Structure 1
Amino acid sequence: MPVSVANSKRIYEGLRACDVRLVVTLAERWLLPLIRMADEDPEVTLVHVAREEEAIGIATGAYLAGVPVAILMQNHGLLAAINPIVSLAQLYRIPLLMLISYRGQMGEEDPWQTQGGLVTEPVLRALDIPTRVLDPADDIPRRIRDAYTLAHASLAPVAVLLPRDVMWEDH
């Protein structure tokens, strides 16, 4: 099943409408078209990290320097990044737009992805992180802009979950 380039473009359009200038990511199969778009965009700097915790720190620094930033990661990476989200971003009221590939949902073919899918939304609720699960029928660029706006209005992390129905052509 190929990743949806068309929906990836819609997501990227939303990022550019927010004037995002820095994208921080740990590469993941579902996110590859988005990562490629950021890499090829002369107005955007793409930073690859080895661990998602680093992404939270880099994005925090970018925000403090006045650089509009977004984080691209997998939901398992979100789970790995809980400590810096809580002890840095939430404690110091840092607005973070986190676009998260939502693995482990119905139709997941990789057994190692399933458990993370079960706990992603409950963990986000427990952390009081506003969350939207994108739907293919959504006005995706607008939903990305809405999430970015909320993050900055509330000075807090916001999560946009990118499920299989959005990220894959055939599901």
Structure 2
Amino acid sequence: MTEAHVNIYDRLEQLGIELPNASAPAAAYVMSAQSGNTVYLSGHIAKRDGKVWAGKLGASLDTEEGKAAARAIAIDLIATLHNHLGDLNRVTRIVKLMSLVNSTSEFTEQHLVTNGASELVAEVFGERGKHARSAFGVAQIPLGACVEIEMIAEVK
């Protein structure tokens, strides 16, 4: 079976990932919007045990904890994409991730935190998951979350 024909749900099962229910918006926006073959996913904040994963990298959280939070967000993003599309096998490319990391001014490992999401997306989607990316350190994220990530995907 070629890379393009690997069933995404089989891959999720192999990775031991069960998609959660897609999140609802917390304010005046939608979780996903499509224009042509491009799907834009709103920023998702880190959650742990169903609650906001709060904290600041470089103060109350270290890089590995941030990376785990980013991985959890990637799973939530994939769940939202599934909810929008109805079939993740329609994804032809994850185009871009944009990551905001709640961090101190001294913390400089935002790129390593964001690897938690990037690596998971590549594991799930294979070649289709290789994406462009930005990772920023910010002073605060809504609800005190440690990380927020948005995604852009191309679909058929």
Larger RCO: 1 or 2 (CA < 8 Å, sep 6+) = 2
Normalized against structure 2, the TM-score is what?
Answer: 0.32
What TM-score, normalized by structure 1, do the two folds share?
0.30
Q: Whose strand fraction is larger, Structure 1's or Structure 2's?
A: 2
